[in-house]
């Protein structure tokens, strides 16, 4: 590895981009395995490999580029129809994807130490297409090695904005054979209207050589989304290159009808001169007819909707867009479907496999996650300062109107900025869900099961910090469903179920929380076996009666597992215990439902963000605490008479029902005398209502969460801290931990 700082920076950028490419590669491979020989998916796989290879070479990863070149060669043969896709080939490619992952993570020996997967691909290339088995001959067509192609290369106007140089791509073409290249300058405007950053030229190329269409497309792989590329194999494939007037005549294609629609406004930018200029430009492509046009308004302007029909044998969508390049209107272009034309090829899922990409200026900006985290932290500090300013302003008896107005304006802007900052850090949870497709595929094959993973609600957006902490719990739960829940195909058939089991992974937003469900249609949980295990582990007494729902919750106790044997996947009773602890650490909850013979469902409820929460500010003596508002139902008073009437049973009447309460004074270590009238905050925890007794309830408080740092390991009842408006520190109560600690101490 080199110490060159420029190369080091290029490598860092490449590693970041490579992760996205590898995820795209894995997703495409898994879909390809399901769909079969799909040209669109094969092209996606090839594009990912080609980009990894090319970017790796320019970033100083020559070994990786050389390694991927052989893999790319196989998929080049697949694209040409010489090799059939099957599970064995997908397996080998997924293993190679894992090798590249390890290599980029720092295991430099990964590519050379494991060659089995690459050897499988080499064997397939030789076995299925012996003539194309060598990487050196991948671009040759042995049946007819010399071919002639006509290529139209038309960069989009914003081509230069992406850092492309068209001459680079033309030089790559020259390496494939003998070329005759002609530039088309028709789109170049007068000098006073010329924009140095706009691409006006297009090129017509005739290429003759021992190559194929895939190799030509590869030359433009890095610019394919920012240009129009048309490749035509000429009928006189073996003819020498000739001047256009000497070339053998080629039969003209059938004329096609195009419908061009656009709207004009009342700004007088589209007048008769502009209309005639547009019609003249379009007439160079074919016959133009005005199908409909708006009637003149009171100012004799044509304001409204237009429709033009263009009949042409050689017009392309890119050429039509180019005709509107200097027009003040932007068209919608549709091609009439010929009655005799076949419909688009459908995949096995009934969707067209042909995808047309319309390039435009990039509307996204890639930013490192640590910078976004810093941005959110700084916005949090601004929220704290806003609270301090508001508190200071309220303490003043006479506030100047200008200062009051500025304080209110700052509060509005701060809240808007807070919402924007949190929105920037949110990401669709579907990106995380998609990663479990590979997990389901590999584990189901290892266990001899047939499992389909269904994903719903992938568009639900959640704070990235929540998603990062959620990955391990989801892995545990999905593995549990695969290993314990879903039966083998033989068992399912005997039970009258389809041999393929289903795991459904879904997400939906519910207020400030997101609800995630992991459900399977397997055998469910044997409640009787759970009870027996709980008695064996000392969690229940012999003969102790509990409901089925209560018995199910025992699954989350440490060391309790109903697995009959320990495997590499599960069986030691540590997974679900860890899941609950991690979810509670995220201020969330996990619930389990199960029906014998029908399956089980784990339901997770998690906050959308961990950075800022709405809380209820309460006070004990001079200290203030925050109770998460999502758990609060209401507040009531507790008098000395009510405490005495309860006979020390810690019960308070609420709408003719008795609700247990817990005083936070002894839990937090206060020993001073209680006030005569206390406040009870009614909260809900695990479906049960509980009262938390405090001295005073101050009101709602927008809480910016701060870590307790080293002190977090020394406390058992607080999940974090915040800075209050008066500048003092407020601790955030962890209700579940408080209840657990009180139960241990007998309070």
Of 391-395, 425-429, 735-739, which one has max mean pLDDT? 425-429
CATH code assigned at 491: 3.30.565.10
The pLDDT, as a whole number, for residue 250 is 43
CATH code assigned at 410: 1.10.287
Q: Are residues 407 and 504 in the same domain?
A: no
Query: What is the residue whose two structure tokens read 């609800």?
Result: 515
343 found inside a domain: no
Q: Are residues 183 and 275 in the same domain?
A: no
Please report, for residues 53, 257, 669, the alpha-carbon distance to residue 741 in angstroms, rounded to integers and kept in the order given.
57, 77, 13
Q: Are residues 582 and 565 in the same domain?
A: yes
CATH code assigned at 291: 3.30.70.260
Q: Are residues 402 and 468 in the same domain?
A: no
| Tens digit of each residue's pLDDT (9 = 90 or more) over 158-190 | 888 777 788 888 888 888 888 999 999 888 888
DSSP for 207-276, written as a single string:
EEES--HHHHHHHTTTTGGGEEEEEEE-S-TTSPP--GGGSPP-PPPPPEEEEEEEEE-SSS-S-HHHHH
The C-alpha atoms of residue 376 and residue 612 are separated, in whole angstroms, by 10
At residue 416, the 3 state secondary structure works out as helix
285 found inside a domain: yes
**Stretch 675-703: mean pLDDT, rounded?**
86
CB 240, CB 299: distance < 8 Å:
no
The C-alpha atoms of residue 479 and residue 443 are separated, in whole angstroms, by 8
Domain extent for 549: 428-607
The gap between the terminal CA atoms of the chain, to the nearest Å, is 62
Query: What is the residue whose two structure tokens read 């004009």?
Result: 264
Q: Are residues 118 and 84 in the same domain?
A: yes
Q: How many helices (H) and strands (E) does the chain have?
A: 22, 25
Count, residues in the chain: 747
349 found inside a domain: no
Q: Are residues 632 and 729 in the same domain?
A: yes
For residue 659, is it left (φ>0), alpha (ψ between -120 and 50) or beta?
Answer: beta
Q: Are residues 738 and 652 in the same domain?
A: yes
Q: Are residues 223 and 267 in the same domain?
A: no
CB atoms within 10 A of CB 647: 8
655 found inside a domain: yes
518 found inside a domain: yes
Among the candidates 607, 641, 664, a domain finishes at: 607
Least confident of 347-356, 380-389, 486-495, 653-662: 347-356
The C-alpha atoms of residue 731 and residue 734 are separated, in whole angstroms, by 9
Which residues make beta-bridge pairs with 451?
Answer: 501
Give this prediction's pTM.
0.60
Among the candidates 335, 361, 395, a domain finishes at: 335
Nearest to 302 by CA among 264, 267, 261: 264
Which residues make beta-bridge pairs with 680?
Answer: 636, 693
Q: Are residues 439 and 570 in the same domain?
A: yes
142 found inside a domain: no
The C-alpha atoms of residue 356 and residue 334 are separated, in whole angstroms, by 12
CB 621, CB 670: distance < 8 Å:
yes
Nearest to 591 by CA among 497, 507, 518: 518
CATH code assigned at 726: 2.30.30.40
Q: Are residues 506 and 519 in the same domain?
A: yes
379 found inside a domain: yes
| Tens digit of each residue's pLDDT (9 = 90 or more) over 233-287 | 885 444 444 444 444 444 456 778 888 888 887 666 677 777 777 887 787 788 8
Structurally, the chain folds into a number of domains equal to 6
Q: Are residues 310 and 384 in the same domain?
A: no
**DSSP element (H, E) containing 337:** none
Nearest to 44 by CA among 237, 308, 247, 221: 221
Q: Are residues 25 and 115 in the same domain?
A: yes
| Tens digit of each residue's pLDDT (9 = 90 or more) over 54-103 | 777 767 787 888 888 888 888 878 877 788 888 888 888 888 888 888 88
């Amino acid at each position: 590895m080199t110490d060159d700082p420029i190369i080091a920076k290029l490598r860092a950028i490449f590693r970041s981009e490579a992760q996205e490419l590898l995820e795209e590669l894995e997703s495409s491979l898994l879909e390809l395995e399901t769909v079969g020989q799909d040209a669109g998916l094969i092209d996606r796989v090839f594009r990912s490999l080609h980009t990894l290879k090319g970017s790796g070479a320019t970033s100083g990863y020559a070994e990786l580029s050389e390694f991927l070149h052989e893999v790319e060669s196989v998929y080049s043969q697949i694209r040409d129809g010489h090799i059939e896709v099957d599970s064995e080939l997908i397996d080998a490619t997924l293993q190679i994807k894992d090798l590249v992952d390890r290599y980029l993570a720092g295991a430099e020996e990964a590519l050379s130490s494991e060659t089995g997967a690459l050897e499988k691909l080499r064997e397939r290339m030789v076995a299925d297409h012996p003539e194309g088995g060598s990487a050196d001959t991948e671009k040759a067509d042995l049946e007819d090695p010399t071919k002639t192609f006509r290529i139209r290369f038309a960069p989009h106007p914003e081509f230069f904005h992406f850092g492309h140089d068209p001459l680079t791509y033309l030089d790559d073409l020259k390496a494939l054979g003998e070329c005759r290249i002609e530039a088309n300058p028709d789109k170049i405007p007068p000098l006073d209207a010329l924009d140095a950053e706009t691409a006006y030229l297009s090129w017509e190329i005739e290429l003759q050589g021992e190559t194929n269409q895939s190799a030509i497309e590869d030359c433009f792989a890095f610019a394919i989304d920012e240009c129009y590329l048309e490749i035509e194999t000429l009928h006189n494939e073996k003819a020498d290159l000739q001047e256009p007037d000497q070339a053998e005549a080629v039969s003209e294609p059938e004329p096609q009808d195009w419908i061009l629609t656009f709207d004009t406004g009342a700004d007088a930018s589209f007048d008769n001169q502009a209309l005639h200029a547009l019609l003249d430009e379009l007439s160079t492509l074919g016959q133009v007819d005005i199908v409909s046009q708006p009637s003149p308004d009171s100012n004799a302007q044509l304001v409204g909707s237009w429709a033009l029909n263009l009949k042409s044998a050689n017009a392309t969508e890119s050429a039509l867009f180019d005709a509107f390049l200097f027009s003040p209107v932007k068209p919608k272009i549709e091609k009439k479907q010929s009655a005799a034309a076949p419909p688009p090829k459908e995949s096995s899922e009934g969707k067209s496999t042909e995808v047309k990409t319309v390039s435009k200026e990039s509307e996204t900006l890639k930013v490192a996650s640590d910078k976004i985290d810093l941005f959110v932290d700084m916005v949090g500090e601004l929220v704290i300062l806003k609270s301090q300013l508001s508190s200071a302003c309220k303490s003043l008896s006479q506030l100047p109107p200008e200062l009051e107005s500025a304080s209110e304006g700052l509060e509005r802007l701060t809240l808007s900025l807070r919402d924007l900052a949190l929105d920037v850090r949110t990401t669709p949870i579907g990106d995380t869900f998609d990663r479990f497709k590979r997990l389901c595929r590999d584990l189901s094959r290892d266990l001899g099961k047939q499992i389909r993973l269904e994903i719903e609600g992938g568009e639900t957006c959640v704070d990235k910090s929540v998603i990062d902490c959620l990955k391990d719990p989801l892995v545990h739960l999905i593995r549990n469903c695969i290993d314990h829940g879903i039966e083998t195909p033989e068992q399912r058939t005997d039970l009258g179920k389809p041999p393929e089991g289903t795991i459904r992974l879904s997400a939906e937003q519910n207020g400030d929380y997101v609800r995630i469900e992991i459900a399977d249609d397997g055998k469910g949980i044997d409640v009787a076996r759970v009870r027996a295990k709980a008695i064996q582990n000392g969690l229940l007494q012999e003969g102790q009666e509990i409901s089925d729902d209560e018995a199910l919750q025992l699954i989350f106790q440490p060391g309790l597992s109903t697995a009959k044997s320990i495997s590499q996947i599960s069986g030691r009773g540590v997974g679900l215990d860890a899941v609950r602890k991690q979810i509670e650490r995220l201020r969330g909850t996990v619930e389990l439902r199960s029906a014998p013979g029908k399956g089980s469902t784990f339901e997770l409820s998690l906050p959308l963000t961990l950075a800022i929460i709405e809380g209820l500010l309460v006070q004990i003596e001079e200290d203030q605490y925050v109770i998460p508002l999502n758990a609060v139902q209401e507040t009531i008073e507790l008098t000395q008479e009510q405490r005495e009437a309860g006979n020390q049973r810690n019960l308070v009447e609420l709408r003719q029902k008795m609700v247990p309460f817990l005083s936070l004074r002894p839990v937090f270590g206060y020993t001073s005398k209680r006030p005569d009238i206390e406040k009870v905050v009614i909260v809900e925890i695990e479906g049960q209502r509980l009262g938390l007794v405090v001295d005073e309830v101050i009101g709602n408080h927008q809480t910016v969460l701060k870590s307790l740092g080293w002190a977090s390991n020394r406390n058992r009842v607080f999940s974090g801290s915040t800075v209050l408006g008066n500048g003092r520190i407020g601790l955030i109560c962890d209700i579940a931990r408080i209840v657990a600690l009180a139960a241990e101490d007998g309070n």
